[in-house]
Amino acid sequence: MFLVYWWYFYYWASFTLSFLILPVLVSYLESADFTFRGRLCFALKSQIPYYIAYFVAFIGLVCFLYWSDKGRTIVNQGGGLVGVLMGMNITFGLCFLALTLGYGIVKIPIETLKSSKLKKRYEYIVY
């Protein structure tokens, strides 16, 4: 029975990690405090605006899906609210991936070009 629904556990675990835990860990590593408590407080405070934006967008989406005729047809065709949310999460993930990969396609050659000039690199290292 568990083998049939392993993807369900995997999907929601990766969703929780990518939207709730991973951003806090990144902020935790970027903080300049010396204590565990200070770093954790900084990480949570820096993530609060994002969590509020997620919550407001989620409430707006649920209101749209249940109060409009078009939203109700989307929910009925998409396998319920969970199916629609999973589809929107996958869409957001793919758009975010395309955005970050596009940024890397531009940024990496620029940095490679800058580091290929030996005199500039030597001056930067000496500085």
- pLDDT tens track for 45-101: 999 998 898 889 888 888 888 888 887 887 777 677 777 777 777 887 788 778 777
Pick the closest to residue 44 from 60, 23, 65, 59 (CA basis): 23
Work out the burial of residue 108: count CB atoms within 10 Å of its CB; fewer than 13 is exposed, 13-18 middle, 19 or more buried.
exposed
Alpha-carbon torsion angle 77, 83, 87, 93, nearest 10: 170
The label of the residue with tokens 């029975």 reads: 1
Instruction: Give this prediction's pTM.
Output: 0.61
CB of 51 closer than 8 Å to CB of 41:
no
CB of 48 closer than 8 Å to CB of 40:
no
Q: Where exactly are the structural domains of the chain?
A: 1-67, 80-127
Question: Phi and psi dihedrals of 31, rounded to 5?
Answer: -75, 155
